[in-house]
Amino acid sequence: MATQDFNSNKEKVTYPEPTSGNYPQQSSNSLDANFFTRYHMVIKAILISFLTLFLMIPMVLIGNLITEREHTAREATVEVHQKWSGTQTILGPVLTIPVYETTIGKDDKKEKTMNVIQVLPETLFIRGEVKTQELKRGLYEIVVYNAPIELKGNFVLPDDFKNLSEESLNDIFFEDAMLNIGISDLRGISEQVKMQWGNQNLVFDPGIRQARILSSGVSAHVDLKTLINDGTVEFSVALELKGSETIRFAPLGKTTVVNLLSNCTTPSFTGAFLPINRDVNDNGFTCEWKIMHLNRNYPQVITGARWERDIDNSEFGVDMLLPVQHYQKSMRTVKYAILIIILTFVVNFFVEVLQKKRIHPFQYLLIGTALCLFYSLLISISEHTGFTIAYSIASVMTVMLITCYMTGVLKIRKTALTIGGLLSLLYFGIFILIQLETYALLAGSIGLFVILAVIMYFSQRINWNGQE
């Protein structure tokens, strides 16, 4: 009888190895993946923030570039001034008379020391026509001018001289009297300086003699017989001057009247006094100053040199500068760079989240680089065309570049055009802020408030926790 082997027909069953818990174990990779999936928007926002800070490095370099270019422009201006003539300041004429001054020395003995009395004109009328022209030095334009100036007026013998004793008159050296005219840069004299002094014709020599309140100018010996006999004498002198950018005067007359005519359309009136009448139009400007001796802090008869600073403080005139402000405006524009970069990144981030599109961090870097390149374009183009045209060209180029790039990244033309439109509005708003002066802070604050409100509104639609 055959026996059947039941064990041979049994199936082998494999049981799982026991684990330490009742639930299946999750791998660490799945936990990491779950974490990044849940908080990917927060991580992306942090990464964009670091990228924004990183882009401030090229902005600092661009700011240094603007400073360097501005310094180069100033060097070109100084070089032209050295070869043409610098700013001109006209002082005088001043009548200088040497005298012996009696002082008490040691042992109460009287000592005589040499001093000078400087008499300022009773009336001083100045009339001039300032003809500007532009000289080029490389990329830079420097304003220079030719100015025929006529000075007229009269001197009056001081009351202190009228009742002097014979001994006192012997201490005054009338025969050594000098007429001095202060001219700050003698290289600007184009013709011989001649003066009509009463019936005399005076020819001036370079250099200031004895007039301690003047440091640079021309001088001539003068005969004071007419002044002593008549008590007054009239004068007139014509100056042919060259200069750069600025022309200034000092109110040395008891009554000083200055009339200027110029073809400069961008004057800036500076100094201690503003003109009482002025007219600026497309053909140039005319202006008039009238200043009394009571408006300044020095007398008509000066002894010593302690009044020099007061005379300097009383100077007035006009700057005839080209409106070259593109360096300053470009630097102000750079200060808004962080705002433009942040808002552009925020718009792209909202598009990425709300429209379920993915923008790689490297693509954010390229967008930020384009925004930084805008400022390099601005400063380079503005040196040739001016700020307004340069800003328009640079902003159009930047907006078109970013719009075309976002069209390729998002594959949605409407969204890319919207981003380009918002960026255009942002550049336009920055341009308006740059032009404003009085209301720049107010307009900027209101604009930032509106932008922040819009960002807060759209941020409500984002699920920051990654939960359904």
Residues 402 and 288 in one domain: no
Q: How many domains does the chain have?
A: 2
pLDDT at 353: 77
Return all residues near 350 (Cβ < 8 A) that are at least 6 apart.
458, 459, 462
Could you say which of 269, 290, 322 is where a domain stops?
A: 322
Residues 115 and 254 in one domain: yes
pLDDT at 169: 58
Residues 435 and 397 in one domain: yes
pLDDT at 106: 64
- As given in the structure block, the two tokens for residue 73 are 């422009």
Cβ(93)–Cβ(179) below 8 Å: yes
Residues 425 and 393 in one domain: yes
Residues 140 and 65 in one domain: no
Q: Which domain holds residue 366?
A: 44-69+327-459
96 is a domain residue: yes
Residues 347 and 269 in one domain: no
Give me the residue label for tokens 């359904």: 468
Query: What 3-state DSSP class applies to 21?
Result: coil
Q: Which residues of the chain fall short of a pLDDT of 50?
A: 1-11, 13, 15, 18-24, 26, 31, 467-468
Residues 282 and 371 in one domain: no
- Please state the three-class secondary structure of 342-376 as a single string: HHHHHHHHHHHHHCCCCCCHHHHHHHHHHHHHHHH
pLDDT at 399: 92
337 is a domain residue: yes
pLDDT at 395: 92
pLDDT at 335: 84
304 is a domain residue: yes
DSSP calls for 67-128:
HHHHHHHHHHHHHHHHHS---EEEEEEEEEEEEEEEEE-GGG-EEEEEEEEEEPPSEEEEEE
pLDDT at 65: 85
Residues 236 and 345 in one domain: no
In one-letter notation, the amino acid at residue 13 is V
**Rounded to an integer, what distance in angstroms lies between the CA atom of residue 462 and that of residue 468?**
11
For the chain, helix (H) and strand (E) counts, in that order, are 13, 17
Could you say which of 322, 338, 364 is where a domain stops?
A: 322
Write the Ramachandran bin of 292: left for phi over 0, alpha for psi from -120 to 50, otherwise beta: beta
- As given in the structure block, the two tokens for residue 239 are 């100056």
Residues 318 and 344 in one domain: no
**Rounded to an integer, what distance in angstroms lies between the CA atom of residue 149 and that of residue 190?**
12
Could you say which of 322, 342, 363 is where a domain stops?
A: 322
Give the helix/strand (H/E) hosting 220: strand 217-221
Cβ(340)–Cβ(430) below 8 Å: yes
pLDDT at 304: 67
DSSP calls for 130-173:
EEEEEEEETTEEEEEEEEEEEEEEEEE--HHHHT--HHHHHTB-
Cβ(386)–Cβ(326) below 8 Å: yes
Which residues on adjacent β-strands are paired with residue 287?
260, 278
Query: 41-57 pLDDT, tens per residue?
Result: 777 778 888 888 888 88
263 is a domain residue: yes
**Rounded to an integer, what distance in angstroms lies between the CA atom of residue 328 and that of residue 434?**
10
Residues 365 and 441 in one domain: yes
Which residues on adjacent β-strands are paired with residue 181?
218
* Long-range contacts of residues 384-388, Cβ cutoff 8 Å, at least 24 apart: 384/139, 386/326, 387/325, 387/326, 387/329, 387/330
Which residues on adjacent β-strands are paired with residue 277?
288
pLDDT at 6: 43
Query: 13-40 pLDDT, tens per residue?
Result: 454 554 444 444 545 555 455 655 666 6
